[in-house]
């Protein structure tokens, strides 16, 4: 897999967010769309990436995170988004310098807005079987009779010790 740098990843996420809203993943999303005002979906997806930057994840995952977060949005969260937009001069999040993005996020890290963002991101990223597959975690095994049948005790790299 080609490793994207941070900006490339943010761009891919932003495009995926636009594609998701167009309900069309087949048409290539042109870069010109990014010159339009940033949507909430684009912004939240980009914020989620800055909180948990995994360059090997499919950018669509961050869009799913944003959809989840916005589905559970509150007036406080909406207000937090608006304040962040104002603080960033209404630029696209990915067009800001990384140091500025971190500073803006650090300024609100004690706020309910930030807690909502972080919690929502964790819920999707770490609940996803895509992530499980990436790190080699099997997740639920009850449908297979449990890990007792799936090598829970198998390990082949331990040195033998005195009592073995």
Q: Which residues bind other proteins (CB under 8 A)?
A: 123, 126-127, 139-142, 145-149, 151-155, 158-159, 161-163
CB of 62 to other proteins, least distance (A): 18
Nearer to other proteins, 100 or 122 (CB): 122
Report in angstroms how near the CB of residue 98 gets to other proteins at its nearest.
Answer: 29
Nearest approach, Cβ of 148 to other proteins (angstroms)?
Answer: 4
Q: What's the CA gap between 72 and 11, in Å, rounded?
A: 25
Pick the closer one to other proteins by CB: 11 or 117.
117
Nearer to other proteins, 97 or 153 (CB): 153
Six token digits for residue 100: 């500025």
Cβ proximity to other proteins, 30 vs 139, nearer residue: 139
CB of 53 to other proteins, least distance (A): 21
* Cα-Cα end-to-end distance for the chain: 42
């Amino acid at each position: 897999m080609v490793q994207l740098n941070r900006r490339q990843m943010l761009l891919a996420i932003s495009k995926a967010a636009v594609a998701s809203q167009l309900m069309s993943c087949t048409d290539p999303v042109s870069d010109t769309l990014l010159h339009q005002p940033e949507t909430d979906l684009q912004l939240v997806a980009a914020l989620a990436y800055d909180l948990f930057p995994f360059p090997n994840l499919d950018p669509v995952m961050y869009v799913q995170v944003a959809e989840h977060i916005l589905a559970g949005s509150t007036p406080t969260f909406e207000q937090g988004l608006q304040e962040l937009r104002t603080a960033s001069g209404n630029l696209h999040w990915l067009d800001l310098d990384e140091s500025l993005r971190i500073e803006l996020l650090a300024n609100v890290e004690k706020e309910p807005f930030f807690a909502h963002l972080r919690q929502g991101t964790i819920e999707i990223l770490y609940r996803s079987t895509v992530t499980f597959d990436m790190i080699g975690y099997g997740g639920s095994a009850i449908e297979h009779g449990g890990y007792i049948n799936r090598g829970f005790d198998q390990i082949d790299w331990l040195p033998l010790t005195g009592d073995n």
